[in-house]
């Protein structure tokens, strides 16, 4: 039925273009109609879904650059070099096609947009039809329906049509069908349906996809995400992004099983907004801190150097932990950085990675390199400093106070997430609705005959053969009730 | 407890292996009997044919019992392991594999009860058996959980739901394979194409919502542990690909003329994607690298 109708409209879309004066308007209308038919076509939908699946497959098979690298040409180029040995001469081609960042590529975005359009078009096309079927179903059908119905049967009953109708109706009701009777002179029509709302599950499922995409879009546009906020224990760090938030780490604990694998990472955090405490919590993996729409997650950890810097007058201009959050390219050093805005200087703190040795940086020492701030900043001075001993570098007194840990946090705000959760719930709900409550519709036509009445019953099934046996049983039941044990 | 679990697994493997043997033998016997009927007509040889057929159906019935028995053993194995580890048996490749096989067997047993088509078992049981044997070859030690996995409720729900989905997809794959083997006019001694089509569809109808739920629960968990509901982690992406393929299948079969063979190929593709997602841990790396094999 609906399926046949859909394919017919598809065929009609390929009309010949007209060339009269109204041709331009018509051809716009024609293009519109063609587009519409293209988007509601199941084949289009199928092609888009498979296209998306193909991109996803490429995304799992091909190395993907961290999205964080994409804003940074240099870092991305370095990443590209790191995969060049694997992909050889193809590296440039794959890169030009955007396949190393496939989930933000033009292909991916294009398919998502087309898929969303198609889903919307299909829903708009189908919802009114489903509504009609559910609310104003056709309650009487003619003879020819029964000749073509996927399931049909006819029964000759010795009884009056009304008695026959009552029996048929009772059989459907016993199966929890809704029944509607109409009368046309001596002819009786029965319409029966079950789970007529079930097909709306498809509409819910389709629209929930749009909701999920909208949520993802909103999150990208108005959310933020810092995957690497390193907070040294005992220090307070600004979150930024206009939140006015800062995070202090009171402590960090990493625990291990006897076999050496990690068992737990916890951070005691205090969250401040504009200087006032707004939350305090111990977070761990799987237990983030949520404050309003901002969430703070435990992610990584490492060593920090507590540094103190004083100017020639003895005033302390810096006193905080500096997370040594980067590893040098050769893997031998851990590096952190801090800025002395008043002096216009940027200082790097360099420590030796565990298990490595560097004759320049002895145990208990950090190397300090001071640069002029700015992109062209040149090295002004560098010195190895021993713990607890103030050392003059670039006119300032640098003290490496001691080593502490830092906790690495993810801080994120995603205003679209709530839509994603609603969408995901509706998606599961909608899909379950379609499948748990498959709609079934049946009709009966009862006529008066000289020796009683004739009954025709027919049903439309969507997919199942299982309904066939139930239908047969129903027919047998009706027949038995009306004619008594047949053949006996 | 761990020993008990191991014994349960071995007994399960033996039972399923024997069940498969019964099914294969029963099929062969039934075939021979049919061929003899054709050759001998209604005349001589009727006795042996009757014996052949009775033997076949007896064997098949024993096969079914053995499937149930195997299921009991494997369930026991999983329960013992749960007791021993104090968490759902879903945290490393060994446990996934046994659970996956369990899922296949449960779904198979219920489909066999409903549709009475043991031919499905000829495809489904070898898959389950292969997974169980694979489990025997990989480390089964109970390692403590890394912090990201320490969420008993989500771990159990996410994987348990996935197991149901994978189990049903395996059955739809079994039906798809039979469908493709089945000749144009249903001459072979296999279920009719219509029935196989329905079995596949019914299995996907269960599996698809479960896969959707698996992915949704995964997103909830990722949001808790990694601070984002979606990060295009390879395993995540692979499960999305699987989901899209089964979604395509559902749509393909309502296109006129696509139901049947064409739609069936989607099921083969979908099961390929399922296996890819499942074994993905072994070579993807990424956030889901919990296989315990590296
Ligand atoms: C990822 C994307 C999609 C998902 C998850 C999805 C989901 C579903 C589900 C679960 C059903 C019920 C299937 C059944 O009853 O067997 C369905 C049916 C349907 N879908 Fe989609 N869909 C998607 C994309 C599309 C697109 C792009 C179109 C438009 C071309 C579309 C058009 C339809 C139609 C018309 C039906 C009703 C089929 C029928 O029973 O006659 N869907 N969809």
Whole-number pLDDT of residue A191:
95
Q: Which residues fall within 8 angstroms of residue A334, CB to CB, at 6 or more apart?
A: A302, A303, A324, A325, A326, A327, A328, A350, A351, A352, A353
Q: Check: CB of residue A412 under 8 Å from CB of residue B228.
A: yes
For the sheet containing A452-460, what is the strand order?
A: A151-157, A452-460, A440-449, A187-194, A178-184
Nearest-Cα distance to chain A for B175, in Å, is 15
Distance (angstroms) between ligand 1 centre and the Cα of B293 equals: 39
- At A364, the pLDDT band (50, 70, 90 cuts) reads confident
- 3-class state of residue A320 by DSSP: strand
Q: Does the beta-carbon distance from A428 to B213 stay under 8 Å?
A: yes
Residue A202 pLDDT > 60: yes
- How much of chain A exceeds pLDDT 70, in percent? 93
Q: Check: CB of residue B88 under 8 Å from CB of residue B287.
A: no
d(CA A385, CA A396): 13
Q: From the CB of residue A38, how many other CB atoms can be counted at a distance below 10 Å? A: 16
Residue A445 pLDDT > 90: yes
Q: What is the pLDDT along chain B (294 residues), one digit of tens a residue?
A: 778 888 899 999 999 999 999 999 988 888 887 777 666 554 555 555 566 677 778 888 999 999 999 999 999 999 999 888 877 788 888 999 999 999 999 999 999 999 988 999 999 999 999 999 999 998 877 777 777 777 778 888 999 999 999 999 999 999 999 999 887 766 667 888 888 998 999 999 999 999 999 999 999 988 988 888 998 988 899 999 999 999 999 999 888 888 888 899 999 999 999 999 988 766 655 545 444 443
Mean pLDDT of the A43-52 span: 96
The answer, yes or no, to whether any atom of ligand 1 lies below 6 A from the CB of B250, is yes
B250–A contact, CB cutoff 8 A? no
Mean pLDDT of the A176-194 span: 92
- At A13, the pLDDT band (50, 70, 90 cuts) reads very low
Whole-number pLDDT of residue A398:
92
Q: Which of A42, A264, A421 sits opposite B147 (nearest CB)?
A: A264
The answer, yes or no, to whether any atom of ligand 1 lies below 6 A from the CB of B254, is yes
d(CA A41, CA A45): 7
Mean pLDDT of the A31-39 span: 90
The answer, yes or no, to whether any atom of ligand 1 lies below 6 A from the CB of B76, is no
Whole-number pLDDT of residue A20:
54
Contacts from A237-240 at CB under 8 Å and sequence distance 24+?
A: A239/A294, A239/A411
- At A349, the pLDDT band (50, 70, 90 cuts) reads very high
Nearest CA in chain A to B192: A465
The answer, yes or no, to whether any atom of ligand 1 lies below 6 A from the CB of A44, is yes
Q: Does the beta-carbon distance from B247 to A264 stay under 8 Å?
A: no
d(CA A109, CA B232): 14
Whole-number pLDDT of residue A488:
37
Q: Which of B212, B226, B229 sits opposite A431 (nearest CB)?
A: B212
- Mean of the per-residue pLDDT values for chain A? 87
Whole-number pLDDT of residue A18:
46
Q: Which residues fall within 8 angstroms of residue B160, CB to CB, at 6 or more apart?
A: B88, B90, B99
Mutation to test the A interface, candidates B111, B147, B278, most A Cβ within 10 Å: B147
Q: Which of B148, B195, B209 sits opposite A465 (nearest CB)?
A: B195
Q: Whose CA is nearest to atom 9 of ligand 1?
A: A202
Dihedral in degrees, nearest 10, Cα atoms A172, A175, A179, A183: 0
Q: From the CB of residue B185, how many other CB atoms can be counted at a distance below 10 Å? A: 8
Which residues 193-212 of B have a C-beta within 8 angstroms of A?
Answer: 194-195, 198, 201-202, 205-206, 208-209, 212
DSSP 8-state class, residue A444: E
Q: Check: CB of residue A453 under 8 Å from CB of residue A160.
A: yes
Q: Check: CB of residue B77 under 8 Å from CB of residue B9.
A: yes
The answer, yes or no, to whether any atom of ligand 1 lies below 6 A from the CB of B247, is yes
Q: Does the beta-carbon distance from A297 to B227 stay under 8 Å?
A: yes
Chain B residues closer than 8 Å to A298 by CB: 147
d(CA A190, CA A186): 13
Nearest-Cα distance to chain B for A27, in Å, is 29
Atom number, ligand 1, closest to the C-alpha of residue A122: 29
d(CA A443, CA A188): 11
Q: What is the pLDDT of residues A394-412, one digit of tens each?
A: 889 999 998 888 888 999 9
d(CA A142, CA A21): 45
Q: What is the pLDDT of residues A142-170, one digit of tens each?
A: 888 998 888 899 999 899 999 999 999 99
Whole-number pLDDT of residue B218:
94
Look at chain A and count its residues.
488
Whole-number pLDDT of residue A23:
66
Specify the range with the lowest mean pLDDT, choosing from A187-196, A258-267, B98-107, B199-208: A258-267
- At A6, the pLDDT band (50, 70, 90 cuts) reads very low
Q: Does the beta-carbon distance from B143 to A414 stay under 8 Å?
A: no
Q: What is the pLDDT of residues A305-316, one digit of tens each?
A: 999 999 888 899
Q: Does the beta-carbon distance from B244 to A42 stay under 8 Å?
A: no
* DSSP sequence for A252-290: EEEEE-TTS-EEEEEEEEEEEETTEEEEEEEEETTB-EE
Mutation to test the B interface, candidates A10, A39, A47, A49, most B Cβ within 10 Å: A49
Look at chain B and count its residues.
294
d(CA B221, CA B151): 9
Whole-number pLDDT of residue B120:
94
d(CA A466, CA A471): 9
* DSSP sequence for A37-63: HHHH-HHHHHHHHHHHHHHHHHHHHS-
Whole-number pLDDT of residue A256:
82
- 3-class state of residue A165 by DSSP: helix
DSSP 8-state class, residue A104: G
Q: From the CB of residue B45, how many other CB atoms can be counted at a distance below 10 Å? A: 15
Chain A residues closer than 8 Å to B143 by CB: 259, 261
Residue A16 pLDDT > 70: no
B51–A contact, CB cutoff 8 A? no
Nearest-Cα distance to chain A for B77, in Å, is 25
Whole-number pLDDT of residue B292:
43
Q: A433 phi and psi, to 5 degrees?
A: -60, -45
Q: Check: CB of residue B71 under 8 Å from CB of residue B128.
A: no
Atom number, ligand 1, closest to the C-alpha of residue A41: 30
Which residues 2-61 of A have a C-beta within 8 angstroms of B?
Answer: 3-4, 7, 42-43, 45-46, 49-50, 52-53, 56-57, 59-60
Residue A14 pLDDT > 50: no
The residues pairing with A249 across neighbouring beta strands, listed in sequence order, are A233, A269
Q: What's the complex ipTM?
A: 0.90
The answer, yes or no, to whether any atom of ligand 1 lies below 6 A from the CB of A115, is yes
Mean pLDDT of the A293-299 span: 89
Nearest-Cα distance to chain A for B68, in Å, is 25
Whole-number pLDDT of residue B188:
66
Give burial (CB, 10 Å; 0-12/13-18/19+) of A313.
exposed
Q: A455 phi and psi, to 5 degrees?
A: -120, 130
């Amino acid at each position: 039925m609906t399926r046949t109708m859909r394919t017919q409209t598809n065929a009609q879309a390929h009309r010949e273009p007209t060339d009269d004066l109204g041709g331009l308007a018509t051809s716009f209308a024609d293009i519109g109609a063609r587009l519409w038919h293209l988007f509601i076509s199941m084949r289009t939908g199928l092609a888009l879904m498979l296209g998306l699946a193909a991109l996803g497959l490429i995304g799992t098979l091909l190395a993907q650059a961290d999205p964080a690298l994409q804003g940074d040409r240099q870092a991305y180029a370095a990443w590209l070099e790191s995969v060049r040995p694997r992909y050889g001469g193809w590296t440039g081609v794959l890169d030009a096609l955007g396949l190393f960042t496939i989930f933000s590529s033009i292909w991916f975005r294009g398919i998502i947009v087309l898929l969303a359009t198609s889903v919307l078009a299909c829903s708009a096309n189908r919802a009114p039809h489903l509504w009609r079927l559910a609310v104003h179903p056709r309650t009487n059908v003619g003879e020819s329906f029964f000749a073509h119905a996927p399931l049909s049967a006819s029964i000759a009953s010795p009884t009056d049509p009304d008695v026959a109708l009552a029996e048929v109706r009772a059989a459907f009701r016993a199966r929890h069908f809704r029944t509607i009777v109409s009368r046309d002179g001596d002819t009786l029509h029965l319409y029966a349906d079950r789970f007529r709302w079930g097909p709306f599950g498809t509409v819910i499922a389709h629209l929930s996809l749009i909701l999920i995409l909208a949520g993802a879009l909103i999150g990208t546009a108005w959310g933020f995400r810092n995957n690497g906020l390193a907070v040294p224990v005992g220090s307070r760090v600004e979150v930024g992004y206009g939140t006015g938030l800062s995070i202090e780490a009171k402590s960090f604990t990493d625990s291990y099983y006897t076999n050496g694998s990690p068992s737990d990472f916890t951070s005691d955090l205090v969250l401040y907004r504009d200087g006032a405490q707004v939350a305090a919590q111990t977070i761990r993996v799987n237990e983030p801190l949520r404050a309003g729409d901002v969430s703070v997650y435990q992610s990584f950890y490492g060593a920090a150097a507590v540094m103190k810097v004083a100017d020639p007058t003895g005033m302390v201009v810096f006193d905080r932990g500096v997370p040594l959050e980067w590893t040098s390219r050769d893997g031998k050093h851990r590096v952190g950085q801090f800025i002395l805005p008043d002096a216009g200087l940027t200082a790097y703190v360099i420590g030796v990675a565990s298990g490595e040795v560097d004759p320049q940086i002895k145990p208990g020492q950090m190397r300090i390199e001071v640069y002029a701030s700015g992109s062209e900043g040149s090295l002004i001075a560098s010195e190895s400093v021993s713990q607890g001993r103030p050392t003059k570098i670039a006119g300032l007194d640098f003290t490496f106070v001691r080593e502490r840990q830092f906790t690495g946090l993810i801080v994120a705000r995603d205003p679209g997430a709530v839509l994603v959760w609603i969408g995901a719930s509706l998606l599961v709900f909608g899909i379950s609705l379609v499948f748990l409550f498959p709609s079934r519709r049946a009709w009966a036509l009862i006529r008066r005959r000289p020796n009683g009445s004739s009954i025709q019953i027919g049903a439309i099934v969507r997919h199942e053969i299982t309904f066939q046996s139930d239908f047969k049983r129903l027919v047998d039941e009706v027949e038995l009730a009306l004619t008594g044990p047949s053949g006996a | 407890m761990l020993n008990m679990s191991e014994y349960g697994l071995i007994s399960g493997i033996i039972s399923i292996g024997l069940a498969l043997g019964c099914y294969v033998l029963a099929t062969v016997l039934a075939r021979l009997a049919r061929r003899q009927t054709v050759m001998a007509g209604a005349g001589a040889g009727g006795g042996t044919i009757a014996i052949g057929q009775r033997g076949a159906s007896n064997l098949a019935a024993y096969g079914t019992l053995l499937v149930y028995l195997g299921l009991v053993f494997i369930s026991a194995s999983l329960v013992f392991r749960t007791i021993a580890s104090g968490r759902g048996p879903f945290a490393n490749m060994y446990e996934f594999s046994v659970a996956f096989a369990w899922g296949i067997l449960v779904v198979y047993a219920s489909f066999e009860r409903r549709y009475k088509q043991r031919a499905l078992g000829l495809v489904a049981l070898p898959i389950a058996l292969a997974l169980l044997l694979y489990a025997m070859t990989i480390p089964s030690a109970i390692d403590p959980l890394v912090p990201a996995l320490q969420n008993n409720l989500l771990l159990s729900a996410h994987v348990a739901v996935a197991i149901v989905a994978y189990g049903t997809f395996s059955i739809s794959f079994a039906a798809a394979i039979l469908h493709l083997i089945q000749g144009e006019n249903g001459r072979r001694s296999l279920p009719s194409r219509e029935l196989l089509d329905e079995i596949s569809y019914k299995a996907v109808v269960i599996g698809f919502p479960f896969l959707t739920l698996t992915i949704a629960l995964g997103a909830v968990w990722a949001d808790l542990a990694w601070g984002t509901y979606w990060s295009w982690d390879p395993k995540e992406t692979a499960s999305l690909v699987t989901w899209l393929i089964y979604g395509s299948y559902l749509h393909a079969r309502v296109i006129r003329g696509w139901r049947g063979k064409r739609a069936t190929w989607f099921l083969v593709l979908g099961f390929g994607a399922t296996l890819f997602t499942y074994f993905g841990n072994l070579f993807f790396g990424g956030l889901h690298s919990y296989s315990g094999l590296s």
